[in-house]
Structure 1
Amino acid sequence: MPAGTSAMDPLREKAFQDYRKKLMEHKEIESRLKDMREQLKDLTKQYDKSENDLKALQSVGQIVGEVLKQLTEEKFIVKATNGPRYVVGCRRQLDKNKLKGGTRVALDMTTLTIMRHLPREVDPLVYNMSHEDPGDVTYSAIGGLQEQIRQLREVIELPLMNPELFLRVARTELRATVVSSAIVDKYIGESARLIREMFNYARDHQPCIIFMDEIDAIGGRRFSEGTSADREIQRTLMELLNQMDGFDSLGQVKIIMATNRPDTLDPALLRPGRLDRKIEIPLPNEQAR
């Protein structure tokens, strides 16, 4: 028995060595396989990107137009961006109820068929307003203004968050913060256009709260004489008043304006129906401090 055992030891040792060698080879192959899978994943992404780029190069562009009028169930009068007007059809899968006057659409380059409807054209400045971070400040972090906070919540939050009281289902979300002085543009008509696009964007993304800081920059008292810049500000104010007159008091778009100079504001801006509640924010009292 001892002689047989001693004869088996070299065989057992050799078997263990072969096992360890194969185990190391297996681990090495597993590592290489993992690397190759990662390479395959990267190559697949590159292939998909190349396919998309190739399709983009081979595809035909589309013309941006605007629907002017619906003639029949299948025919529409559209105006292309370069000026001419056409009577065209639309794709069958398209929802024709969305093709109303003023809707932006994409037209086929060859047949001018309406391929899809496009969202409203929005100025980048207006678009960026909805992506501002309102921060994490709560009402509890504000001291000494309980009455003002109560009035503010009564005017803004209650109509949006209590449908059983105001017959509207809504939720409140601060979507836009505007510094009024940033609206004033040196080009004639640009400021009024920005106001118009801002309110249209708010209507399309209800519920929405528009907060306009430093409103005295565009809402000052009007007068007959002044420079071209003053006249541009007056045109901006007229557009603002026009947009405010088109709002429903129980709607889902609310407007808040702030100023340090209420004495300079135009009376037309302060009349009931436009700004229904005036809230003065005083200095904090001794208890709040």
Structure 2
Amino acid sequence: MSDSGPSTSAPAASTSAGTDDRKTAALTAYRQALKQHEELSDGLKRLRFGLKDLEKDYDKTEDDIKALQSVGQIIGEVLKQLDEERFIVKASSGPRYVVGCRSTVPRHKLKQGVRVSLDMTTLTIMRVLPREVDPLVYNMSIEDPAGASFAGIGGLGEQIRELREVIELPLMNPELFMRVGIKPPKGVLLYGPPGTGKTLLARAVAATLDTNFLKVVSSAIVDKYIGESARLVREMFGYAKEHEPCIIFMDEIDAIGGRRFSEGTSADREIQRTLMELLNQMDGFDHLGKTKIIMATNRPDTLDPALLRPGRIDRKIEIPLPNEQSRLEILKIHTKPIAKKEELDYEAIVKLSDGFNGADLRNVCSEAGMFAIRDDRDYCLQEDFMKAVRKLQEAKKHESKIDYSAV
């Protein structure tokens, strides 16, 4: 009876050991199957994303093939609407047609003068095209005034206030003028010696208001072909009206705005025609419209009186040479980013720079930096600025003097 205990416990132990082995094997197999399942799921996801990319490539290729196989379209101009479905259109080649309109084209946009594309065979209006813009006018609009601000202009507080009254108030708060019952000015003339900040003021106004900005160099408008200059002026104002609010800045206006006279060459007469078109365009837009003009010149005495009369250029702002206090403000603005070892004696530099304009003072800072580089230093000293002022004083002796009187 004593031998029966061990003989029964041995099979039980072996049975439990076999069960543990099977459990371990099953768990291992399960983990492997789970891992394979996860790998297959990841692979399936990648294939799905790859399929989407392939579908996009397929659609793009299909569109490219259609574009290559499709026939081009004719450009035309709407002359008149006859009824809901028919329009008189002038094709770019010259002849006029009575044509239909595609169902997806909005009818309310098909007004006189609108550019459209026509099907090559049926001459049906396929789509409305944007207004044609002269490349010269488009290049004027690329000018970006960003970066300019009133904080970067020193010594012109009164001029900035006057300019903002003329340009900023009518654009931001036109109801103020309507309440008082007056018409806001259409434009402003900035005049004064070169280098005093006329262009910088105009750029700062446009950047502050976040408006469209057309920078026009007046001499670039003049064309040798008769009528081209006047057409450019029309294009310029048309573009500005379509992209309101817009500021047109005409630099060196004396190039086309000089006094008219009876005698002269054909080139002089073309400039006079350009001026007449400019006067006509300035008379043509609304006082409370969102197109404003800023003109700049350093020769106000040569401008035509018709251009300067109230109703066209209502405000004339003189930008004078900076006085001692203004030069101090300008100098502090330009020396701010410059590496300096010690605090500068601004008063001494300002007293030595009598007759300097804003551009001269910026040049003083550049020359001081050049002296530092020449001495193999990475910072500027007081002596560098003093030497720079003396150097520029010698250079300014060669500049001609022009006397400015208030316009």
The answer to whether the aligner puts 1:41 opposite 2:80 as a matched pair is no
CA contact under 8 A between 1:216 and 1:259: conserved in structure 2?
yes
Report the 3-state secondary structure (helix = DSSP H, G, I; strand = E; otherwise coil) of the residue aligned with 2:292: strand
| Equivalent position of 2:5 in the other structure | none
* Structure-2 residue corresponding to 1:183: 221
CA distance in 1, matches of 2:325, 2:41: 70
SS at match of 2:111: coil
Aligned to 2:278: 240
Letter in 2 for 1:177: L
Determine whether 1:61 maps to 2:111: no
d(CA) in 2 for partners of 1:284 and 1:15? 92
Matched AA of 1:41: K
Task: Please tell me whether the aligned partners of residues 176 and 211 of structure 1 are also in contact (alpha carbons under 8 angstroms).
Answer: yes
RMSD: 3.1
1:256 counterpart letter in structure 2: I
Larger Cα-atom Rg: 2
Query: How do 1:192-271 and structure 2 match up within 5 A?
Result: 192-223=230-261, 224-226=263-265, 228=267, 230-271=268-309
Q: Which amino acid aligns with 2:121?
A: T
**What secondary structure sits across from 1:64 in the alignment?**
strand
Q: Which runs of 5+ in 1 are unaligned?
A: none
Residue type at the aligned position of 1:161: M
What is the TM-score of this pair, normalised by structure 1?
0.82
TM superposition score normalised by structure 2: 0.61
Residues 285 and 57 of structure 1: CA distance in aligned 2, closer, same or farther (over 3 Å): same
C-alpha contact 2:85 2:100 (8 A) present in aligned 1: yes
- The answer to whether the 8 Å contact 1:67/1:105 transfers is yes
2:172 corresponds to 1:161: yes
Structure 1 letter corresponding to 2:237: F
Correspondence 1:101 to 2:121? no
Shift of 1:131: 4.2
Kindly indicate which of the two structures has a greater share of residues assigned to helix: 2
What displacement does 1:28 show?
Answer: 3.1
1:11-30 alignment runs, 5 A limit: 11-30=22-41
Gaps of 5+ in 2: 1-11, 180-208, 330-407
Question: What are the Cα deviations for residues 187-208 of structure 1, in whole angstroms up to 9, with x where unaligned?
Answer: 5443332221111111112222
Cα distance, 1:22 vs structure 2: 3.1
Pairwise CA distance, 1:161: 1.3
Letter in 2 for 1:218: I
2-structure distance, mates of 1:163, 1:266: 30
C-alpha distance in structure 2 between counterparts of 1:272 and 1:227, whole Å: 30
Equivalent of residue 137 in structure 1, options 142, 148, 157:
148
Number of equivalent positions? 286
Residue 174 (str. 1) matches residue 211 (str. 2): yes
Contact kept in structure 2, 1:129 and 1:175, CA below 8 Å? no
Superposed, 1:105-124 pairs within 5 Å as 105-124=116-135
1-side partners of 2:72 and 2:30: how far apart? Answer: 64
Q: Shift of residue 277 of structure 1?
A: 0.8
Cα contact 2:257–2:275 (8 A) shared by 1: yes
Alpha-carbon distance change, 8 to 76 in structure 1, aligned in 2, over 3 angstroms = closer
For 1:237, the aligned partner's letter is L
Q: Distance in 1 between matches of 2:17 and 2:108?
A: 93
Secondary structure at the counterpart of residue 147 of structure 1: helix
Cα distance 1:2–1:261, how it changes in 2: closer, same or farther (>3 A)?
Answer: farther
CA distance in 1, matches of 2:107, 2:30: 72
Q: Percent identity?
A: 71
